[in-house]
Structure 1
Amino acid sequence: MSLTTEVPAGEAYKAGIPEASEPYGLFEAWFAEAVAREPNDPNAMCLATTTADGWPSARMVLLKGRDEAGFVFYTNEQSRKGGELLANPRAALCFHWKSLRRQVRVEGRVEPVSAAESDAYFASRSRGSRISAASSEQSRPLGSRAEFERRIAETESRYPGESVPRPPHWGGFRVLPSRIEFWQDMPFRMHDRLVFERTEAGWTTLRLYP
């Protein structure tokens, strides 16, 4: 079969990303589809930060909150990513939903969420997750797995009930988007890319060549 006749170019483009005046409605629609179709962690996103001397640093984290203010995740603020964000409060996020053949990239400034938000989310976690967070010196050298298990046992003894307080160095960050790019896989590498950029007047949009 000739590749040039499999999908007409016009039809391929019509199946791409629809026009929109702001990015949040489109993100919610894509996220809902990801929740329905991705087999694992549809809220997983790559978080990219930089070191003090400009080296990039990336890892996967989980999106735990989203609205028009920004995209929220939680971590130990004394971890490597926490330190990098406090030193240089700018970050990029990348969602990749393989089952949907879609990608969303977010760039913007970063700010800590309020203590009340961090408290509420920490309280919503399972007791085991709270015990682990309270026991871990995230990103610091660990002598052995047994050492971590000992610290967990000590924390469990200290807090035998359901109440486990949030460590003061554990909290959330919110990425305040200044640019959001939606990418849709299309036949014959005719991928569709729609970019939203924030201005003082609101959002502007443009399409990019794939």
Structure 2
Amino acid sequence: MNTTIADLRKSYERAELNEEASHADPLQQFDQWLKEAMAAQVPEPNAMTLATVGSDLRPSTRIVLIKGYDARGIVWYTNYDSRKGRELAGNPFAALQFHWIELERVVRIEGRVEKAGDTESDEYFHSRPLDSRIGAWASPQSQVIAGRGVLVSNAAKYGAQFLLKPPRPPHWGGYRLVPDRWEFWQGRKSRLHDRLRYRLDGGAWVRERLAP
């Protein structure tokens, strides 16, 4: 094959996104698109990229899983002592992105991040499989370790200590991003993509079309 990276391209022709057919409330638009992604059985429709910025002004990204959403914001769970946790402690603003490539759609969300309440975090933690609950204790997330044996040893230690009822670690819980900007991107032919942005202005959502 003589194909190079520069030659890779695709014409997006599945759907369109216009003002008349979209919701005035971005949460409703997101709810519709997420449910359509789930119905289409795209791989991991709940996977989203989380971008944070550290005190050194270097951005970093990683994939996390959405675990809830409502008028209060978008929720995920993680280790508070991880790199993302440390960065959010110093700069509580972040961006999320969903990419449902089979539907030729992207959703971008920006806003301030706050910790979920203890009760909310406890309820989700205790709904997880046992090995995931033990894993939350076993992994010193984002820290340098000598090898995988450290994780295996930690898992065995905490499994023996807590048996079937590990409590939620104090360093583990939920975050909620409270959106002030949303963008919905629908791929279109000739790279003339549809982009609708919603921005919060005086407590009301303003919907605007952006050039692709």
Q: What aligned pairs does 1:156-167 form with structure 2 within 5 A after superposition? A: 156-161=159-164, 163-167=165-169
What code does the residue aligned with 1:16 have? L
**Residue 7 of structure 1 aligns with which residue?**
none
CA–CA separation in structure 2 for the residues paired with 1:192 and 1:99: 16
Are the aligned partners of 2:42 and 2:100 in contact in 1 as well (CA < 8 Å)? no
* Structure 1 match to 2:201: 199
Q: How many percent of aligned residue pairs carry the same amino acid?
A: 46
The alignment's C-alpha RMSD in Å is 1.3
- Decide which of 14, 24, 42 is 1:21's aligned counterpart: 24
Q: Does 1:168 align with 2:170?
A: yes
Do residues 61 (structure 1) and 64 (structure 2) align? yes
Tell me the distance in 2 between the aligned counterparts of 1:41 and 1:134: 25
1:3 alignment partner in structure 2: none
List, as ranges, runs of 4+ consecutive aligned residues in structure 1 with deviation greater than 4 Å.
none
Tell me the residue number matched to 1:134. Answer: 137
Tell me the equivalent position of 1:30. 33
Could you tell me whether the CA contact under 8 Å between 1:48 and 1:92 is conserved in 2?
yes
Q: Give me the whole-angstrom Cα distance separating, in 2, the residues matched to 1:201 and 1:68.
A: 13
Report SS of the residue matched to 2:27: helix
- Segments of 5+ residues of structure 1 without an aligned counterpart are 1-11
SS for the counterpart of 1:99 is helix
Deviation of the 1:136 alpha carbon: 1.0
* Counterparts of residues 113-132 of structure 1 (less than 5 Å): 113-132=116-135
Count matched residues.
197
1:53 CA displacement: 1.8
Q: What displacement does 1:16 show? A: 2.2
Q: Is the 8 A contact 2:108 2:183 kept in 1?
A: yes
Output the TM-score relative to the length of structure 1. 0.90
Work out which of the residue numbers 86, 99, 103 in structure 2 matches 1:100: 103
TM-score (norm 2): 0.90
Structure 2 alignment gaps of length 5 or more: 1-12
Separation of aligned partners in 1, 2:83 and 2:123:
24
The offset of 1:188, in angstroms, is: 1.5
